[in-house]
Structure 1
Amino acid sequence: MLTLGKIDHIRISVSDVPKALAWYQRVLGLAPDPRYRNLQEAPHSVWMIANPSSTVRLALYQDRGSSGASGSVAFVVSGQEFVDWIDRLAGERVVSRDGQTIARDSVKDHGFFCAIAFVDPFGNGFEIVSYDHTWLAGKLKLKIERRPAKQV
């Protein structure tokens, strides 16, 4: 039977990212995780913040189009479980936010982890994430895109 490993991160919609970053750091002690710096740029525009041990992670994104907050929950699994979950979601005809049925080509390659995003029947967002990137890249024949390092 398939099981979920643990919650990887919770995606939080905010209307003002700099204000949110300051609040989450001041109040909850969550600071930007430098490993996810590349996600801050388009098309992702996500700021991953974490506690010092990285056992709690929130993914902040600026929601420009909606007045209400929304989010999603991400679960982390092994590489093989990730592949099994894709097949399970496809078999159940689960869809992404844009209404496309989940399939192996729905995988998002984030460079050092892979994710598959979907919604429940009520529009609540979920992701399954795996950090077994090298294994998944070979298994799913992902096209690895290397971006040049950003100059500071």
Structure 2
Amino acid sequence: MPTLELAGVHHVKIPVTDLDRSLDWYRRVFGLRPAMEFRDADGVVRGLVCEAPGLGPTSVGLRVNPAAAEGCAGFDPVSFAVRGRADLEAWAAHLDGLGVEHSPVIEASIGWLLVFADPDGLALHLYTWDEHGRDHADRPGYGRAV
């Protein structure tokens, strides 16, 4: 029997309340480019699949679902990766230029982290692949190896 393994992340789907507003925001923040649209039976486009610079074949979907968007407000379902702290600081400057409120650069469990919210309040994380090498396992809310 072959070993079962995943081949990556195909797409991330984000619930939104207003597709146009969210597309504008995600386009300005991440450079998303719509690649496919989904029309409901009434002919209205309520979903998009977008390409994002740096994500390779992984796409980001935006789907109108007000109940899910409201239920996810404040939750962080995905962390997008950046290489290192300098990249994270560049992202903070980019967000500042757009007027998007964000956390300071946080020394997280493994690397550095930047937290901000989309127009519906979904918490988005930018997390570094680079590690800082400090053990925060004794701090509440921080991870520890198992």
**Fold match by TM threshold 0.5:** no
Q: Shorter-chain TM-score: which interval? A: 0.3 to 0.5
User: Larger Cα Rg: Structure 1 or Structure 2?
Assistant: 2
More helix by share: 1
So what's the TM-score if we normalise by structure 2?
0.40
So what's the TM-score if we normalise by structure 1?
0.38
